[in-house]
Structures are given as structure tokens and as C-alpha cells.
Structure 1
């Protein structure tokens, strides 16, 4: 049974976390101080938290027709239909390319059987869409691509791995997106926000994304890599055995790195990647095990998160996320 947990939402409480955390690992000591008290363990939400709860909220196909897709033809028919649909994916949907997704849809896997292979989902100006409880693997391009002013998208409780390009790219003016309880693994360029350094006119003032309770497991970079957006909220995620870096802020972006758990991560944060100009990072309450120090820059320039939120201390995030992220956990 789904139980709504007040973690990040317009009616939630103020920030709460642990008192003082001192972590000693292979890269030395790191100390962070956050006041207040711990909170109870998290449970799956029945509606989105963070940015996808704003701008009128994200309801997907709620109130529309419930259908079941067992092959690519049925899947295409329903996801491109003009009406509201709750689309249950039962079994493997093998796509030959990027499948366009229409507005006002909920796409949800049945049990642990729902799989998207060979291709990916393309949100191109799509609005009010929920994607939950699906496994994505072997995409010839991106597993999920969100672009061209798509808005109010909730990506929740999925398993994403082994795409040819990105696992989850958010770009070209898209906005009000929450990425929660997903497991990302076996991949290099994982999660991008903002596709190029030259797209400031379309992206600045948009690309507002919340990453919460995701598990980045053995991936290499872009968790996420951010351009222009301010603020992006990266909160209560678990990073384990990351090859290059955790979260990067570039091109003047503002990222709040908030109460995450880093284990065996050489560079938890980065303020410059490739040829991009530097970005800005503010951090609070993160927990480090066998990891490097968190690098910040101009924390005062990172805008305040525009919703009230409460959460759990960084020290408890590993247990919460490993128990709850991925498919079959709703």
C-alpha cells in the first residue's frame, strides 16, 4: 500500500538533520554541522515531492483510462494518445529508438516485470507525466530524455543502466521535475541537466530539478552535472563507488548538496568540468565514508530552495535508499 511521506512539499516542515557528523576515511577528515533533530525513516510517496509538486503539481494520468501495454505497438498507441492514461507496462517493451511521450500520462510497471529495452523515452514539450517502477536497459541513445520545455515530470522508483548515451538527460528549458527513489548503475554519463554551454537563453531560469533518495551505484559521472539552473536540490541520495565525481555545478549554476551519503567517492562535488565555466555549490549535513572532501563555491549565490522541506540526516540515508530505491518497492 502506498503511504504518502512528507519529505519535500509545500506543506512540509523546516529542515531537520543530525547534530554533528565527523567522518574519517581514506581521504582524511570532514566535518559538517547541522542543527535540529533526526526524523523517521522514509516510505514511498503517493505523489511527487520537491519541484514536481509545484507549478500546479504533477498528477499524470490520474482520472483517465487505465490500460495495459505488453508490446511496443500498444505502448506507442497509449503514450502518444491525446487523452489521460494510466499505462501499465506488463513485460518487456522493446523499442527501436526514442519513443515520444505525450502529456497527462502515468507510465507504471506491473510488479517487477515492466521493462523498456533497446530504446528510450523522449519528452519533447511533454507536460504532467509520471514514470514509475520500470527497468530501463540497453537504450541505443538515452534511457530518458526530457527536453524542449517539458514540465511537471516525476521520475520515480525506476532502475536505469547501460544506455548508449545518458540514463536521464534534462535540458532545453525543461522545468519542475523530481527524480526520486531511482537506482542508477552500470553506466558512465548518468544524469545531465543542461545540454550545452551555449544554451543560456533557453535554460537560465528553468531546469529546476529535485534529486531525492536516489542510489548512484558504481556509476562514473554526472549525478547530476548541472548548467545554468539555480537552484537544483540534491538531497538524501546515496552515492557508492563513484568513479569520477558525484555532482558538478558549471556555467554559473547553483546546486544545494544537502544531507547525502557518500561512500568511496573520490570527488563528491565538482565546480568545473570539461570546457564549462565554474558553477556554485552550497552544502549542508553530508556524510562521507572513504571519500574526498566536498568542494563548494560561492554558497551565498545558490538560491534558496523555493519549497519547505524536511528530511533525514545524511548518516541514515544509505539504509533508507538501499531498502527503498528501484523497482518493486512501491
Structure 2
């Protein structure tokens, strides 16, 4: 019979817990690893007790606190200049059946953000502030019980010809539920024929649809360098809209949204575009992601689908 008595065990655990609290955080992982039991000890150890209802309420409260903090952090950037949708409204994105069905079934949702430098996040002060990461944070706040990942597959300088070469590996092979494809800006800047770009986009959309993914196209940005080629940009935007209509996929009218910021909301261009006259800054990416996320949430039909979102979490939207 073992001589290790319960009273001694209690004292030993108490001392160990106090030592852990007094140990610097940087040393805790190493000590925790050293304290792990062997497989034989693990088989004879008592099963851990289940958390009490009070503990569970504490866990839920901490989770809600994290959601509140994330919302506050996202909203800080809009404290001086609010992020508002176009006053006249924009075209509807349409439904996103694959994303919706995954949310209803409680299955992981994978989103691939496909595009060039404004997808990669050139101009953002930190990777945390590019639009895919901002979008991921918003969707996780909205659906806190869902497993949502947004993969950034943006490569600066590319347009449809280069993107099509990596479409299979960068997008389709990841089996996404939603692909957000930002395309057309570099073709405009290179003065390429919009019709050639559109042919490639149509082929790409067909391949993505055949793989079973929802799609949202994102047209060029409103910025000084794009506006220098307004005629080409206008053709590209119109033709991308037609592709979306014919293929019955969503489109986020980025040019229209950003033009509204400047021309109707009187926001200076330098508020959302960096000094190169092309790429967005932190505010531009944040507002773009916010409005895109709002459209995705509306398209999924959150309330009708009955996705589990606590009421007190919804209150903490960043706008």
C-alpha cells in the first residue's frame, strides 16, 4: 500500500499551485512540460472532474468579453471617420448557399481571398489590418460558435493571366466554401484589353463553381491611379458585373463604394488611399472588409438560418 496520504497530497498541490503563480510566465511552459506524467502514470491517474455550472458560466462570460474587446479594437479605427455604406445603396450580392449550409450544419467554413496586392494587404501597417484578416475577425464576431478561416491568397502585381496559373493550387485544392476574387485593377493599369481579362475570369469562375464553391467578385478600387484610366476601368467594372450576373455569383462593387466615400460622403482620398495613389491604407481596408462582411452576413441570411449567435454579442458591432 502506498504511504502517500491524501493530506500530504493536498499540501503538495497547494504549494505547487502557489509556486506556479509566482513563476514568471516565460518559464511556465518549460516547467509544465517537465511536470507531465508518463504514459503509465496517466493510465492510473483519476479522470479530471467536469467543470461546474459556475465554471461554465465563467467560461461563457470570458468568451463574451473577448468578443467585446475584439469589436472595440475593430471599431477604434472608425472613431474619427465612420464607415458607412453607399447612401444610395449598392447592388445585392446574392445568396451564398454553400457558406449558409456549412454554418447551419455546424461545420467549418473556409474562405479563400484570391487576388493581387490589395488582397495581400500592401499599404496596411500590419498584416492584422489587411482586409482578409479584418473580414475573418468580423465573421467570427458575428458567428462566435462557428469555425471560420479566411486564407489570404493574394500576390502583388498579378491579374487574371497570372492568377489562372495558380487557381488550382491556391484556390480549388483548398476546397473553399467561398472564394472572394479581387481582379481587374492591374489589367487596367497595364492598359490591357478588358475583354481578354473577362474571358479568363469567366473560365475561372466556371472552374470554381464546378468545384462547389460560392463566389464573390471584387472589382477595381477607386483611386487616383485607377481614375487616370477611367475609360478602361469603367469597361472592366461593367464587364465584371455582367460575368457575375450571367454566372449568378456575387459581386462587391468596390469602385462604387469607394467613390461614394469621396464624392458623396466627402471623405478625402488620402483618408483611405496611401501616398502611391493606388493602395488602400488601414482605414480603407477596414471599411472595405466591414462592408464586404456586412454583405456576406446578409447574403447568408443569419436570422432565417437560426445560427446560434448570443443576443448580447450582436450589440458589440464596431460601427
Mark yes or no: TM-score above 0.5.
no
Q: Which has the higher strand share?
A: 1
Q: Which has the higher contact order (CA 8 A, sep 6+)?
A: 2
Structure possessing the higher radius of gyration over alpha carbons: 2
Q: Which has the higher helix share?
A: 2
TM-score w.r.t. structure 2 length? 0.28
TM-score w.r.t. structure 1 length? 0.27
